[in-house]
């Protein structure tokens, strides 16, 4: 690539491209036209001073380091002052800080209510979901080691689940939380107040003994979901964001699996209880997302 700079520091050659200046700067910095005759070479073209050209390359010179201006004047738009990021895009607006924290729990709550209503309706009228539920239960009851399935089903006992929730409530109170522990305790108190009337009203028979009734929804599943889920949300409110909620979901899931494999509940009993537990834990979920503390 040929050098377009002349020996004296100016622009040399007829194909040289003039330096790009900010809008309006070319007219201001243009030197007067040559007073030579029309026959002289380069007449009518602006004459650039050598000192001005060397200001671009000579360290310490006036305007050194600026590719657009050869003098020491302040550029129209300094690079250090220009805003960066997407905030300067036309039409861009920052997201509302609490919009996602409110919308996600609301949509989850509505989905849980809708699914619980559908499951309850299918069990009451013995619809297609009920028939598929019976076939699935007949296919999986008794599968797996009995000692393991019994252990999994026992995770829904109050003697196991309630101490876990009590420890989480004590820890949250020690971390100076007030509303979240109260919501967790209220959700656990609401479990028998909601589950027992539903059992009496629906009066679904047991999977292995038709003489027994009152098995929808599953009280053991609701106890496990509210206890383990409530403990996880309390830990989340205290700043432990990653592991509590997945662990609570695993504990609730294996409890329901153990109840179905042992023949204590139908699969839809477990599904209905999980949906009901999500509704009971809704206020606690909202509080845990709204008032999280750093670890």
Q: Which domains does the chain have, with CATH numbers?
A: 109-290 (1.20.144)
Task: Please tell me the predicted confidence (pLDDT) of residue 188.
Answer: 95
Per residue in 135-174, pLDDT (tens digit) is 999 999 988 899 999 999 999 999 999 999 999 999 999 9
45, 60, 137 from 88: Cα distances, Å:
40, 34, 59
Task: Please tell me the predicted confidence (pLDDT) of residue 72.
Answer: 52
Average pLDDT for consecutive 10-residue bins of the chain (295 residues)? 46 47 45 46 50 46 48 52 46 49 77 95 94 94 91 94 95 88 93 95 91 92 96 87 89 96 95 95 80 47
Could you please report the per-residue DSSP string of the chain? Answer: ----B-TTSSB-STTPPPPP--TTHHHHHPPPBP-S-TTSTTTTSBPPPHHHHHTTTSTTSTTTT-SS-SSSPPPSS-TTTS--SSTTSTT--PPPTTHHHHHHHHHHHHHHHHHHHHHHHHHHHT-HHHHHHHHHHHHHTT-S-HHHHHHHHHTTSHHHHHHHHHHHHHHHHHTT--HHHHHHHHHHHHHHHHHHHHHHHH-PBPSS-TT-B--SS-HHHHHHHHHHHHHHHHHHHTT--SSHHHHHHHHHHHHHHHHHHTTSS-HHHHHHHHHHHHHHTHHHHHHHHHS----
Contact (Cβ atoms closer than 8 angstroms) between residue 189 and residue 173: no
Task: Please tell me the predicted confidence (pLDDT) of residue 210.
Answer: 84
């Amino acid at each position: 690539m040929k050098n377009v700079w002349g020996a004296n520091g100016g622009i040399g050659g007829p194909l040289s491209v003039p330096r790009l200046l900010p809008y309006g700067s070319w007219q201001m910095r243009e030197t007067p036209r040559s007073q030579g005759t029309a026959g002289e070479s380069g007449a009518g073209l602006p004459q650039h001073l050598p000192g001005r050209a060397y200001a671009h390359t000579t360290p310490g010179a006036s305007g050194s380091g600026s590719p657009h201006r050869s003098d020491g004047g302040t550029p129209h738009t300094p690079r250090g002052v220009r805003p960066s990021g997407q905030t300067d895009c036309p039409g861009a607006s920052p997201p509302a800080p609490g919009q996602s924290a409110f919308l996600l729990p609301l949509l989850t709550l509505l989905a849980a209510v809708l699914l619980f209503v559908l499951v309850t309706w299918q069990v009451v009228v013995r619809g297609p979901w009920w028939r598929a539920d019976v076939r699935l239960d007949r296919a999986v009851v008794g599968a797996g080691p009995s000692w393991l399935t019994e252990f999994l089903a026992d995770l829904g006992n109050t003697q196991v689940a309630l101490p876990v929730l009590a420890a989480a409530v004590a820890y949250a109170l020690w971390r100076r939380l007030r509303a979240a522990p109260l919501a967790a305790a209220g959700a656990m108190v609401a479990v028998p107040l909601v589950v027992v009337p539903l059992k009496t009203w629906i009066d679904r028979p047991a999977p292995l003994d038709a003489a027994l009734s009152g098995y929808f929804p599953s009280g053991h599943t609701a106890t496990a979901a509210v206890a383990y889920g409530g403990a996880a949300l309390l830990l989340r409110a205290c700043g432990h964001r990653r592991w509590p909620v997945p662990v609570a979901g695993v504990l609730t899931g294996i409890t329901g699996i153990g109840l179905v494999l042992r023949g204590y509940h139908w699969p839809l009993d477990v599904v209905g209880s999980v949906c009901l537990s999500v509704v009971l834990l809704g206020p606690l979920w909202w509080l845990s997302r709204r008032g999280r503390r750093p670890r």
